[in-house]
Amino acid sequence: MTSRDDILESIRASLPRVDRPLPHVPMFDEDPPASLLSAFKDSLERMGGIFLDPPASGDVLAPVRVKVASAKVVCSTVPEIAGNRDIATVSATQELADVDFAIVRASFAVAETGSVLLSETDLNINALAYLAQHLIVLLDPADIVVNLHHAYRRPEFRERHYASFHTGPSATADIEGVLIHGAQGVRSLSVLPIARIYQPQPTSPQEKKHD
Amino acid sequence: MTNSAEQLPGRAMLHPEMVAAEDNQAMYRDGHRLDHAEGASKPLRSRPEPQPRGAKIHGNRPIDQAEAAARFIASPEHEKMHDERLWDLRQKRDREMHHIPEWEQLRSLASAIKEHTLTHLDEYLDQFEAHARANGIHVHWARDAAEHNRIVHGILSDHSAKSLIKSKSMLTEECGFRHYMASVGIEVIETDLGERIQQLDKEDPSHVVVPAVHKLRTDVAKVFADTIGTDPENSDVHYLAEAQREATRPLILAADAGMTGGNFVVAETGTFVVCTNEGNADLSANVPKLHIASIGIEKIIPRLEHLAVFVRLLSRSALGSPMTQYTSHFRGPRAGGEMHVVLVDNGRSERLGLEEFWTSLKCIRCGACMNTCPVYRRSGGLSYGATYSGPIGLIIDPTFNARKYSNLPFASSLNGSCTNVCPVKINIHEQIYAWRRELVKRHDVPLVKKAAMKAAGELLSRPAAYRAAIASADVALAHLPRFVIYNGLNAWGKHREVPHPPKQTFHSWYKANRGGTQ
């Protein structure tokens, strides 16, 4: 008898003989914030993240350029801004160990918690978001959902192999409760609100195979 | 410095003398002090003092928790810092709770989802396995700790892996995994800061979420000076954390394999979810090509929509933080990588059959019951001499070894606070009491505790005598079991009076103010 069968048989022999129906989970969205973007900003800042206010006019990427100006190695996976480490040429994760700034775009964000979702599609190499010293995330304000109940309805969790909510930077307070950013992963996480350059086209059935 | 935070409701300090005079390293956003993750809501400062060690282990003999607790209490800096930090987490949890109008509804949902899943555990595990396999995950099953360790060793041997970076997992603690790996010559590197401190100090984690919470900064400075070469005179926390980051990063980059636990497992998608604040699980999972996740079979939930309920509750209950910094969903291996999940029973299926205790399997390991427990806060997690400490430990540990952990269910005042804060509504204090009865039945309880139980039984059966006893004991929480704990028959009562006894018991207040007859 395999361990699998053994365990399942042991479970069946032990199952409590009580009726416990699966409850319906509401969306808890009756009272949404007036602005999802400003609610997201507040939540992000509480979690130690940095919200980059885009300038009222001119170069909307200016706050990002300022951040990376003195960095040696910048790795970008977004078309909006170029880095000097081409992720397409990276063959082993360890080659990302010297990255100062990684720039990526979030699949979406959650206002309730200030989280951004990063998946393998956004990162190209997952380790980029953890080995870099600092992380800059572009976020389309149209991609913010109100809470986690809405977040878990998103298709990313059924399509991607890896999807991670980042809610602020790497943090610890394991020693006497003193808060430290950059325990093991990124020392800072900044989010710039900026619409996607390429708006996803409404997909017709024939086009779907190209997704 | 005057401590204005102390005056705010919900911010009361247990030990105001622990407030730091200055806090020039605190971080602010928009004028607010940041206290996310495990961050304390106010600056705390300790004075150096030798670290009290945990319970003395003598094979299978009953752990003397009270003895180890007495040594912890005899180290006031440790005791007060521990008490203060955990109480701060508890108060931050309350603050979060008040921000969420549906909090109680979420707790009820979480409890109901877990109870439903546990009563259909075989079906959901079957679903998970099918979906995970379809996504390219290798799924293994381990009946017990030994089989778990053998399976993981086998996977590592297949890849000629000699070093393993891992994130914190209580299950691997349960399995004695690091000891086993050391015996077969594989180097294990813990990557959570607190867990790494504990590994380097050859101690077990003392708390499920904050493993080194019982240590002072000076204790950590000593451990790091001895192991990673930091300046023994420098106990600056930023310096210590940075030194650890710098020392661990090369080990992460060079590791042959990575290992994580799993906080939740979703049957419908074959996903497992890992929550950390440091991002160390994501490094462990994403830097080496091989990722192994060890997960207890009770971690499963049916669908993604249920995950929302648990993720909303977990970090708020644990740390009073709205979310862990990283909540990562693994549904399949990355390109060029390999992913294994080891589903571990290790006594869980048997526990499922214990009528009074099966709901302990609902536990999501948030640690809220530990943070609120007056016994845990003042005795330190290592005093329990077991993988799981605090209230949840009292009801889980005896299922592993009823004799060795026979004293543990007595390390409680049965005040019920653990039950009140549990995000999945486990009736913890009732199960603690039920374990006392169970252990007496099994003759696994020392005589002195039996006498206390008998006295409790007699007192319980005579309400007037009980109220008289309570009034004379003059304790804050007028619960019988608390009085029983504080009587001379139980070593736990010594030196453990509640600091501010009320002028009246509830009953005498009620009699005076409501004026009714009994």
The ipTM (two decimal places) reads 0.94
Name which residue leads in pLDDT, B199 or B456: B199
Contact A184 B248 (CB under 8 A): yes
Q: Is B512 exposed, middle or buried (0-12, 13-18, 19+ CB in 10 A)?
A: exposed
Distance CA B241, CA B230 (A): 11
Predicted local confidence at residue B443, as pLDDT? 74
pLDDT of residue B45: 93
Cβ neighbors of A69 (< 8 A, separation 6 or more) are: none
| 3-state class (DSSP) for residue B294 | strand
B477 pLDDT above the threshold of 70: no
Evaluate if residue B480 carries a pLDDT over 50: no
Residue among A55, A50, A82, A53 at smallest CA distance from A68: A82
Residue A165 to residue B113, Cβ atoms within 8 A: no
CB contact under 8 A, B116 and A13: no
pLDDT in tens, B265-275: 999 999 999 99
Tokens of B28: 């602010």
pLDDT of residue B488: 43
Beta bridge partners of B32: B29
* B453 contact partners, CB below 8 Å, separation of at least 6: B436, B437, B440, B445
Interface test with A, best of B286, B343, B357 (most A CBs within 10 A): B286
pLDDT value, residue B457: 62
Q: Which helix (H) or strand (E) holds B274?
A: strand B271-276
Between CA B243 and CA B248, with CA B244 as vertex, the angle to 5 degrees is 120
pLDDT tens sequence across B64-91: 999 999 999 999 999 999 999 999 999 9
- Three-state DSSP class for B497? coil
pTM value is: 0.90
Which tens digits make up the pLDDT trace of B155-193? 999 999 999 999 999 999 999 999 999 999 999 999 999
Locate B215 and state its tokens: 């240590």
Report residue A89 as tokens. Answer: 């040429």
- Which among B220, B245, B331 has CB closest to A184? B245
| Nearest C-alpha in B relative to A149 | B308
Distance (Å, whole) CA B142 – CA B444: 29
Domain boundaries, chain A: 33-195
Crossing angle of helices B237-254 and B217-227, in 10° steps, is 40
Whether the per-residue pLDDT at B485 is higher than 80: the answer is: no
List chain B residues with CB under 8 Å of A28: 102
Q: What CA–CA distance (Å, rounded) separates A46 from B33?
A: 9
Query: What is d(CA A118, CA A126) in angstroms, rounded to the nearest whole number?
Result: 9
Q: Do A14 and B352 count as a contact with CB atoms less than 8 A apart?
A: yes
Write the CB contacts of A50 (distance below 8 Å, at least 6 apart in sequence).
A44, A188, A189, A190, A191
Q: What is the mean pLDDT of residues B30-35?
A: 92
Q: Does residue B466 have a pLDDT over 90? A: no
Q: Which residue shows structure tokens 């069968």?
A: A5
Nearest alpha carbon to residue B273 among A203, A157, A35: A157
Mean pLDDT of the A8-23 span: 98
Report CA-CA distances (Å) from B102 to A30, A144, B146, B317: 11, 21, 42, 14
**CB B437 within 8 Å of CB B396:** no
Residue B493 has pLDDT above 60, yes or no: no
Q: pLDDT of A104-141, one tens digit each? A: 999 999 999 999 999 999 999 999 999 999 999 999 99
Checking if the pLDDT of B205 tops 80, the result is yes
Q: Which CATH class is domain A33-195?
A: alpha beta
| Angle between the N-to-C axes of helices B390-400 and B428-441, in degrees from 0 to 180, rounded to the nearest 10 | 30
Q: What is the mean pLDDT of residues A149-175?
A: 98
Compute the distance between CA of residue B129 and CA of residue B271 in angstroms, rounded to an integer. Answer: 10
Contacts 24+ apart (CB under 8 A), B98-106: B100/B312, B100/B316, B102/A26, B102/A28, B105/A26, B106/B309, B106/B312, B106/B313, B106/B423
Q: Which of A174, A181, A186 to mutate to test the interface with B (most CBs of B within 10 A)?
A: A174
Which residues, in sequence order, are bridge partners of residue B340?
Answer: B138, B292
| DSSP secondary structure letter of residue A202 | P
C-alpha closest to that of B502 among B466, B468, B478: B478
Q: How far is B49 from chain A (nearest CA, A)?
A: 14
Note the pLDDT of residue B461. 61
- Neighboring chain A residues of B242 at a CB cutoff of 8 Å: 182
pLDDT at B442: 83
Does residue B455 register a pLDDT over 70? no
Q: What does the pLDDT look like over B308-317, one tens digit per residue?
A: 999 999 999 9
